[in-house]
A and B are shown apart, each in its own frame.
Chain A
Amino acid sequence: MHFVLHRAKKKLQAIIVKVSDWAIFIGIVLIGGLGSSYYMVSVGSALTTRTVGPWKTWTHAGRNDADPYTRAHFARAGRLNLTTEIAQTYLAGHDSKGMRLHSSCVYRISGDQLDARWWSITALNDLGQLIRNPSQRYSFTSDTIAVSQDGTFEVTLARDARPGNWLPTAGAGRLSVSMTLLEGEAIIAGDSEAQAAEINLPSIERVACR
C-alpha cells in the first residue's frame, strides 16, 4: 500500500512539473509577445519615432507606407493625423530634464522662430483632452502668439494667470503638449537622424512647483 502511494506521489509530481513547465512557457510567450507588441505600439522605438529634446513624433504617421506599429498606434489613439509628408505633430509628456509634466508646476516653453510655414502649440491632459479654463485659452499658433523683437517666443504653462503667452493648466493632472509644424524645414530635410538633430524645437523648462 505504501509502495502504491509512493508511486502515485511520484507520478503526480511528474505531472505537476510538466504542467508548470508548460505554464511557465505559455506565460513567458504571452508576456513577451503581447508585452513587446504593446510597448512598440504605445511607446515606439527609434525605428518608428523621432525624439528631439522633450518632443517625440511618429515619423510615418498618416502615410500609406506606414509600418504596422505606427498604424496600430494611431488606430489605438483614435487620432486623424495629416501625413508626415505635410505636417509633423510632436508630443511632449516630459520637460527638457525628463521630468513628467504636471499641472502643479509652472513651465516655460521657449524657442526661436520655428522653421515651418505654420505652427501651433496646444496644452492638453495626458489623454489628449483640452483643459477647461474660464479664459478659454487652449493653444497658440504662429499667427496668434506674441513674439519678441528678436523672433523668439515664450509660452507659460501655469495654473494661474501669467503675462504674455499663457496657457492655463489648472486641474489637468499630468500634462502633454502638442506642437504641429505644417510644411516645416524638417519635412523638407527628410528623415535621417543627422538632419533631425538640426531641427530647432522649443525647450520646456520647469520654473516652479507647488
Chain B
Amino acid sequence: MITARGLTKVYGSIRAVDDLTFDVVPGAVTGFLGPNGAGKSTTMRMIVGLDRPTAGTATVSGRPYAALAAPLREVGALLDAGAMHPGRTGRAHLRIAAHTHGIASSRVEEVLDQVGLAHAGRRRIRGYSLGMRQRLGIAAALLGDPGVLLFDEPVNGLDLDGVRWIRSLLRGFADEGRTVLVSSHLMSEVQLVADRVVVIGDGRLVADSTVAELLGRAGGPRVRVCTPRPDDLIRHLPAHAIAERTGTDELEVAGIGPADVGDLAHAVGVPVHHLSEVEQSLEHAYLALTGQQVDPVPEGLAR
C-alpha cells in the first residue's frame, strides 16, 4: 500500500505537486495519469525519498521509504531509465544493487533472463537502446521480488512486444496481490491495464477512482459520424447532444444514440458515410474532467 497525504512540492514560485492525497491499494494496477509536467514523476520521486516534500507525507506499507529495513525487497521502482552509468555493464549495474541487499548473484541472472537481457548482460549500458535500458531498469526493480512496484512511463522506448510484455507483467503482479503504480501520459495504454486511476493536473488531484467509474462520469458511449457536411449535421442536432469535430469530415456525438443520429441525418438530407458507436475512452474522460478538448469545435458549432 502506498499512501500520500497532503503531498506538496514547491520549486521557487512553482507548485509542482499541490496537496496530493491518495492511496494505491494492493491487488490492482493503479494508473497515475496526467499530461507531461503534471507532477507525476515528482510525486513518485517523493514516494521513494529522492525528493523531499515541501509538505505532507508519502509512505509505503505505513513507513517512509528511507525507513524501510530493506527497501529493494519491499519496493521496486523504475523512475528514469536513463539514470545509469553508461560505462558499466548491465550485469554490473544489477550486481551493485544486489550487493546493497545481500541478494545472490543467481538472482541477477534470473531477472536479466526475465526481462530478456541475458544475452546483453556483459555489454556496457552505453550500447543499450532506450528499450533495453527500460528493461534493465525493470530488472533492477524486480531484483528484490518486492510487493510494491512503481513504474514511471515504463513503455517509453519499448517495441510492440515490449509493450505487451509490460502489460502482462503489470497485470500478473496485481493478480498476485502486489501494489502496482504505473504512470503514463498515454491514457489509451493505461486503459488497457489499469483497474484504478489517480489523475492529476497541474500538480493537483483531479480524480481517484476505478477506471469504470471514471468512464461512467464522463458520459455514455459516443457516436462516430463521417459526413462531407458535418456543420449541417451539427446545426440540426438536438440541444442535449454534444458534438465534437474529430476530423475534417468526422465528428463524435454524445447524448443521443446512433439510430437517432442516422434518422436525423436522413431527415435533413445530410449524407452519412460512416456511423458507429464508440466506447468512452480514458482520454475523453480525462479531458472532460479537466475541461480540455482534443480538437476544439469552431465557435458557434459546439452545443
Pair from one complex: no
Which residues does B use to contact A, with CB under 8 Å? none
